[in-house]
Structure 1
Amino acid sequence: MTSRTRTTLLAAAAVAALGLGACGSGDDAPSATAADGTRTVSLMLNWYPYGEHAPFYYGVQEGIFAKHGIDLQIKAGQGSTKTVQAVGSDQVDFGWADTPAVLANIDKGVGVKSVGVFLQTTPSSVQVFSDSGISSPADLAGHTIAVSAGDAPTVMFPTYLKMAGVDEGAVKTQNLDPAGKIAAVLTDKVDGLIGFAHDQGPTIAAKSGKEMTYLRYSDVGLNYFSTGLIAPQGTLDDDAALVKELVAATSEAFAAAEQQPEAAVQAMSGKDPQMPADDVLLEQWKQTSELLHTDATEGDAPGVNATADWESTLKVLSDAGLVAAGKSVDTYFDASAQPQG
């Protein structure tokens, strides 16, 4: 039992007395051990639940996490940086966050590490309506694209344009928050947006009734790790067995959701008032499942990371100024909990 587990037993009991739900979004971080030996473990997502998160809900429903001794409490997030900081300050037990944000916060001294990246091909892309006349990076010249200053897709946009052979000055950008970007595309105030193809795109398509085109960063050879599990350094030091069980359960849940996508999405039904419609969730999950491996990890269990992919990610992000240069992989990643297979 970790020191955090011992100090939060009373808080966990209070939460149970208040009857808070298993997939709530409160600030508590319960880590109690039940009579049957299962541990109550909180996981904060990178954002409000969407299709990418289906395996967690499916894993809970199908007893995958319980088999590993974990009663998983899934909590909505409000951006990867906030999730990383919540994990680092022991507000929650574990997190699900975008790798560039994880690494940048580790550079700032936040005491967490990645314990397995699951989305190993970046979903970063320029997203436009298919009838916009934009079908290649060269077509972006003269158009206005919505961005969100400081996030990884926006910071990497100049690198994408350079690798695509497009003059950065030829593309106009408008800075908006995540919700504002979607609204601007839907009302034709901008010609497209930068974001995650498996997130905003299916939402916009459903709201507009129009098809979307994705100009993916990876299509021009720009790839880096995206979302995965993070753990506090203290838990890695004091309770490595728990970390290993969580990673193993998550890997099994992702594999199961790949096999049963409709059932995985159904497991999310009614779990959060801001959740997209089922058809959007299904499209989001289907797009997510295409991002789970690189050439180096094809055939491996979800969440198995290759050192070469980590090294490539660090180079790409350090070249762009997102993370410090010259640091080793183990500064950011603890491989001790890697799933088998």
Structure 2
Amino acid sequence: MKKSLLGFAAAAAAATLAISGCASGGGQPQSGGEGLTPVTLMLNWYPYGEHAPFYYGVEKGIFKEHGIDLKIQAGQGSTKTAQAVGQGQVDFGWADTPAVLANIESGVSIKSVGVFLQTTPSAVQVFADSGIETPADLVGKTIAVSAGDAPTTTFPLYLEAEGLSEADVKEQNLDAAGKVAAMLSGRVDGLIGFAHDQGPTIAARSGKEVRYLRYSDAGLNFYSNGLVANTSTIADDPDLVKEMAEATSEAFAAAVADPEAAVGAMDGKDPQMPDADVLLHQWQETTELLNTDASKGRAPGVDAEEDWTATLKVLSSAGLIDGGKPLGDYFDADVAPKG
């Protein structure tokens, strides 16, 4: 995978494109410095290692090469980010695909324009010394969950794939911070969440190794985080959306090529950011999620239709979406990265 991404990064175009006409943060169209278009991107959460490519892309001038003056904002969950994009409060969002699709079905005027985390990071996370080595060892254990999020909602499908039932596991409903605290204090045997996010944080705070029982290892996979745009932006300024998507793809490829420099670009950018070693661990875990068998060898963010089909099937089976819409209602391939 890394070889193909490095090749893509080396071939990235360097021509500067001046694009105009996009409202920044829901305001009126503005002109940026050096003929650039000001663009706001809202993340799915406070910055962590997964977001390194955006900061590195700004530092390396990748977004400027595509005519974009990028401003990055922290988020407070993928649902809020999706809705902020739909309401025109920001130009683009970085959000979890299940939340994006659910909001589309609720009438929010957005579409995915490229999923970058194509293998789900959803996993049961336990300490390596917990005695839990396989999914079968979860029987009778207490696992912290967050009701309504994608990892929790699809947990029954994971258990079924491993020959278990919901009754085999005790669930304790907590928010994101509460799950981490409960695992650190030993009040639960593990938690469900994103392996590339909570896991490195828990390992750093506890000084203990974390083991991951990944949904994807059970053959259960669905799309995770990616780039989202308002349908009006796609219709009114498709060139801007294309440039943003391609710049993001190039930034991800560059960050894969130089992880330390990518993480270093995040230094001092947000007071709630994890320590540098945690950020690096998070980004290294993220790089393992960028492709599937169907998209192997493709540049970051270049999606395979079969993966979209599988995602819609899993999420509809879990009740997160109806899944009755055509793919084009959720994803706009015309403005997504081409690689």
User: Above 0.5 in TM-score?
Assistant: yes
Kept in 2: contact 1:2–1:235 (CA 8 A): no
Kept in 2: contact 1:96–1:229 (CA 8 A): yes
The residue type equivalent to 2:210 in the other structure is: M
Per the alignment, residue 8 of structure 1 pairs with 27
The residue type equivalent to 1:100 in the other structure is: P
Per the alignment, residue 221 of structure 1 pairs with 219
Q: Tell me: CA distance 1:7–1:77, structure 2 relative to 1, closer, same or farther (3 Å).
A: closer
Per the alignment, residue 38 of structure 1 pairs with 36
- Give matches, 1:1-341, under 5 Å: 1-2=20-21, 4=23, 8-9=27-28, 32-341=30-339
1:131 match: secondary structure:
coil
Separation of aligned partners in 2, 1:171 and 1:238: 49
Q: Tell me: CA distance 1:34–1:131, structure 2 relative to 1, closer, same or farther (3 Å).
A: same
Shift of 1:49: 0.3
Separation of aligned partners in 1, 2:220 and 2:156: 11
Separation of aligned partners in 2, 1:154 and 1:324: 18
Separation of aligned partners in 2, 1:6 and 1:94: 9
Separation of aligned partners in 2, 1:169 and 1:191: 16
Task: Render the CA deviation track for 1:176-200: whole Å, top value 9, x for unaligned.
Answer: 0000000000000100000000000
The residue type equivalent to 2:27 in the other structure is: T
The residue type equivalent to 2:54 in the other structure is: F
Shift of 1:326: 2.2
Task: Render the CA deviation track for 1:36-95: whole Å, top value 9, x for unaligned.
Answer: 210110000000000000000000000000110101000000000000000000111100
Count of equivalent residues: 320
Kept in 2: contact 1:38–1:69 (CA 8 A): yes
Question: Which of 193-202 and 299-308 deviates more?
Answer: 299-308
Please report the RMSD computed on the Cα atoms of aligned residues, expressed in angstroms: 1.3
Kept in 2: contact 1:111–1:233 (CA 8 A): yes
2:34 match: secondary structure:
coil
Task: Render the CA deviation track for 1:10-47: whole Å, top value 9, x for unaligned.
Answer: xxxxxxxxxxxxxxxxxxxxx52225210110000000
Q: What TM-score does the superposition give when structure 2 sets the normalisation length?
A: 0.92
Separation of aligned partners in 2, 1:150 and 1:167: 19
Kept in 2: contact 1:57–1:264 (CA 8 A): yes
Separation of aligned partners in 2, 1:306 and 1:6: 31
Shift of 1:7: 7.4
Shift of 1:6: 11
Separation of aligned partners in 1, 2:54 and 2:62: 9
Kept in 1: contact 2:157–2:318 (CA 8 A): yes
Q: Runs of 5+ in structure 2 lacking a partner?
A: 1-19
The residue type equivalent to 2:307 in the other structure is: D
The residue type equivalent to 1:272 in the other structure is: D
1:311 match: secondary structure:
helix
Q: Runs of 5+ in structure 1 lacking a partner?
A: 10-30
Shift of 1:337: 1.7
Q: Tell me: CA distance 1:71–1:126, structure 2 relative to 1, closer, same or farther (3 Å).
A: same
Separation of aligned partners in 2, 1:181 and 1:245: 38
Task: Render the CA deviation track for 1:88-147: whole Å, top value 9, x for unaligned.
Answer: 001111000000000000000000000000000000000000000001100001110000
Q: Tell me: CA distance 1:190–1:326, structure 2 relative to 1, closer, same or farther (3 Å).
A: same
Shift of 1:167: 2.4
2:35 match: secondary structure:
coil
Shift of 1:324: 1.0
Shift of 1:8: 2.2
The residue type equivalent to 1:324 in the other structure is: D
Separation of aligned partners in 2, 1:214 and 1:250: 28
Shift of 1:340: 3.0
